[in-house]
Structure 1
């Protein structure tokens, strides 16, 4: 059954489960005119308060005793293999089939957080997000999503004339390519400490520190023992030229990575960037060479030139994606 603003239906349970928090909500309708899901009874609980996801969900359901959802989609920050879900940071594990039976659900999907991001992409609000690169999105073409955070995630919403599905990937472990002479020098330094210099080696929380150390070496300076937050603070205050150069390089170089992934995914429907890092670098990203490096793809430069790129800053992405997963399937 498709959701729309005039259909009466049992609310759909959605969840965003991470190492820090477990967030639950109910999707009560979908408005075709605004392309937005109605999210109600949105509650967040510290994951550490519960010994399992079952206990956390039981607690949430106790806050809405008048509603008994029969359909659910959970977005989780962990691997899903052969119907088994492992939330590594919490030590939680469950079987999808057992979970479905325990809560007497007629339908249950469990997806990872970047798959949820991909499902959510067509339903995001333009007014709540930031255009990094203008373009002409093809409404029937694939959409790419990516983002540096604790690691580097990437996925693709594959769209055909009949259906949509999500292609999950390990795009963060692609070998990082050098485009400029500085890129090459940095990779040379990074290889001294990392056997495989991947996208995630640089474009992640720990990656900022790796890039800072390499940048210091290239500039002939001794690096200090700084974490990503300290590097950002010193860069933004103007107290450290190496830190400033590190963040500028981060924003420039990720443009090339974003362009590569857009080509790999055929993302003429647009590329959306999330994760916890770049929204905090918004001004620097907009002033960087991101757009230039995104588009510089030789004979395919016209192709990448038409792809719009959006920095996603709105909240509730995993919940929207969980809702969209079920919405797309019906």
Structure 2
């Protein structure tokens, strides 16, 4: 018999909670009840916002798993953007959880990957996923996250990493020039320096410099809006480059993780300009891997547009059925 699970997705802006009342791994069917969203800024601590959700329940489950946007060091979890921290053992004792797990939000994304329905999301690149192959998840958002679900004979393991901080590679003359321009601002030009919200602004300034144009003092939403409206040449070039270049990065990570089971892209940025992404050279750049092209050609890439992935991943991480 399935025991209900409290799951949560706790970020710098909002904390979303839900009650998982059913989870059938064989059919990949999951039932969420009592979904609640709280503004994190309205609470002084993680324990306070969790208590607010618990008050909405008639019975408090004995199992809980939370996906958080922050690191864990031994028993302590840090939510950097909120200035919160809590001890896992303290929360477990205070709320009477028999099982309590806290995982990184991209680890939750990786855990959720086998249960994602591609029909509910956007297929960016077609391919034939190996059902026994590793799955990579990446995402440009506030930063750049990545993880992998590594398939084993008896069980799966989530591999977290810091791929956002690897060196960004140039594949053509324009990109070499852009990296040179970015190097004037950053000692080390990383993937995150381009593929994040702040990264769009960095890329825009570099693109303006490469084209000998004075950059305007505009933020990422404005750059995106002007590009989609075709109202600014440098903004258009910036967004086009963003979509093309992330294809190369995604292809690199697919080889790094041996992700023959597929690549899923999350984060809050790319869903805002899906048509631009589909019209870009993303797929061409993804497969341009020399001797390994025959491997990456078969890897499907899906952009996640549904919004329950961290909750699904938290449930998958804890459920043992």
**TM-score in terms of structure 2 length:** 0.98
Contact 1:118 1:143 in 2 (8 A): yes
Q: Secondary structure at the residue paired with 2:110?
A: helix
Among 54, 59, 75, which residue is 2:52 paired with?
59
Q: By how many angstroms is 1:25 displaced? A: 0.7
Partner SS, residue 197 of structure 1: coil
**Aligned twin of 1:150:** 142
1:236 corresponds to: 228
SS at match of 1:272: strand
Instruction: State the alpha-carbon separation in 1 of the partners of residues 251 and 86 from structure 2.
Output: 37
Quote how far apart the aligned CAs of 1:57 are: 1.3
**TM alignment of 1:1-330, pairs within 5 A:** 8-32=1-25, 34-65=27-58, 67-327=59-319, 329-330=320-321
Q: C-alpha separation between the residues in 1 aligned to 2:150 and 2:191?
A: 22
Shift of 1:33: 5.5
Gaps of 5+ in 1: 1-7
Q: What is the rounded CA distance, in whole Å, between the counterparts of 1:85 and 1:98 in structure 2?
A: 11
Q: CA-atom RMSD, angstroms?
A: 1.1
**Alpha-carbon shift at residue 32 of structure 1 (Å):** 4.5
| Deviation by residue 1:49-83 (Cα, 9 ceiling, x = unmatched) | 22111111111111112x22101100001111112
Question: Quick one: distance in 2 between partners of 1:233 and 1:116?
Answer: 31
Structure 2 Cα separation of the partners of residues 27 and 131 of structure 1: 27
Hey, what does 1:3 align to over in structure 2?
none
Check conservation: 1:141, 1:160, Cα contact below 8 A. Answer: no
Native 8 Å contact 1:78 1:85 kept in 2: yes
Kept in 1: contact 2:2–2:23 (CA 8 A): no
Q: Secondary structure at the match of 1:187?
A: helix
Residue by residue over 1:84-108, the C-alpha shift from the partner in whole angstroms, topping out at 9 and shown as x without a partner, is 1011222211111121111111111
How many residue pairs match? The answer is: 321
CA shift digits 1:25-54 (9 cap, x unpaired): 111112346412111111111112221111
Q: Which runs of 5+ in 2 are unaligned?
A: none
Which string of whole-angstrom CA distances, capped at 9 and with x for unpartnered residues, describes residues 217-259 of structure 1?
A: 1111111111101111111111101100000000000000000
More displaced, 297-306 or 23-32?
23-32
